């Protein structure tokens, strides 16, 4: 019997933490202007997207991330029409956003066009979103693009990678200030905000920073087995609405085929364990 091949993500080697996934084949491997892009055919999780050695998504469990990034802010807003997705070139977030019938415009701002090309080729589940007439794609550094936008987007989803390399700027106060500026008066932004188990200090600093900018700032999370620690969180940053103010069961029921998100999950995802609450969250 042939031994399996193993992909290894050494995300915190000094702390002895790594993730390993067995795979059959490498379907794609290219070096873009920004990063190395790989797609693996894994044994347990289907196709897996990896950027610079870090797992971004798998077919097995991506929905737990993308549904929570999209449906939480959209259902927390009373009438979202214009949405900006920063990063997210894989197409997962825009796929969920475009399920909402009231959405009139979605802008995808992705710095690396090669990510979009690779994911359109390999991830059939997301292909339809890229041909939706409500979508426009801007290939640009989001930290630059957003500086020119004021009072426009109802919801902004920042689907970034970890705060290293090109994504580092997306965790800084200057960027969050521009998010606030780009939102409409009732706007909501959510941003990828790391693991509550492994990045507690970063999360605490983000919450503290964003409380100086937004009237409403909270942390929520989702459970996803292929990410380090099995959880990943989001910063909920709102100009007006708290996470539950506009929740409407009828609106939620309009969106079919949720695999993770529902109203109870929406509410429960903001309930934090004591080790976070004790740090001021």
Q: Which of 76, 128, 86, 77 has its CA nearest to residue 106?
A: 86
d(Cα 110, Cα 115) in Å, to the nearest integer? 8
CA 211: distance to chain centroid?
A: 21
Residue 154: active-site member: no
CB atoms closer than 10 angstroms to residue 260: 18
d(Cα 207, Cα 201) in Å, to the nearest integer? 10
Q: Which of 90, 159, 201, 245 is catalytic?
A: 159
The four Cα atoms 98, 66, 160, 52 give a dihedral, to 10 degrees, of -120
Both structure tokens of 228: 């380090």
Both structure tokens of 174: 């200057």
Phi, psi of 43 (to 5 degrees): -80, -45
Residue carrying structure tokens 């309930």: 271
Q: Do residues 40 and 48 lie in contact, with contact meaning Cβ atoms separated by under 8 Å?
A: yes
- Containing 97, the helix (H) or strand (E) segment is helix 92-97
Phi, psi of 178 (to 5 degrees): -70, -30
CA 269: distance to chain centroid?
A: 15
Q: Which of 203, 192, 35 has its CA nearest to residue 118?
A: 35
Residues annotated as catalytic are 159
């Amino acid at each position: 019997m042939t031994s399996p091949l193993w992909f290894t993500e050494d995300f915190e080697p000094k702390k002895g933490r790594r993730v390993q996934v067995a795979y059959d084949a490498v379907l794609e491997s290219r070096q873009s202007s920004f990063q190395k892009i790989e797609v693996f055919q894994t044994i347990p999780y289907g196709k897996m997207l990896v950027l610079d050695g870090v797992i971004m998504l798998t077919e097995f469990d991506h929905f737990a991330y993308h549904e929570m990034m999209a449906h939480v802010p959209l259902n927390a807003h009373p009438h979202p029409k214009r949405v900006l997705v920063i990063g997210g070139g894989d197409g997962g977030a825009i796929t969920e956003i475009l399920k909402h019938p009231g959405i009139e415009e979605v802008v995808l701002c992705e710095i690396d066009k090669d990510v979009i090309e690779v994911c359109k080729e390999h991830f059939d589940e997301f292909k339809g979103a890229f041909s939706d007439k409500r979508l426009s794609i801007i290939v640009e550094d989001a930290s630059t693009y957003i500086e020119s936008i004021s009072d426009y987007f109802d919801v902004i989803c920042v689907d970034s990678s970890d705060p290293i390399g090109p994504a580092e700027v997306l965790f800084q106060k200057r960027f969050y200030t521009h998010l606030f500026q780009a939102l409409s008066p009732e706007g909501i932004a959510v941003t990828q905000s790391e693991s509550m188990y492994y990045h507690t200090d970063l999360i605490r600093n983000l919450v503290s920073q964003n409380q100086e900018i937004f009237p409403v700032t909270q942390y929520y999370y989702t459970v996803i087995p292929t990410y380090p620690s099995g959880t990943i969180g989001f910063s909920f940053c709102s100009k007006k609405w708290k996470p539950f103010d506009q929740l409407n069961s009828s609106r939620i029921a309009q969106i079919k085929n949720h695999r993770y998100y529902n109203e109870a999950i929406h509410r429960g995802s903001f309930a934090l364990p004591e080790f976070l609450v004790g740090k001021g969250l």
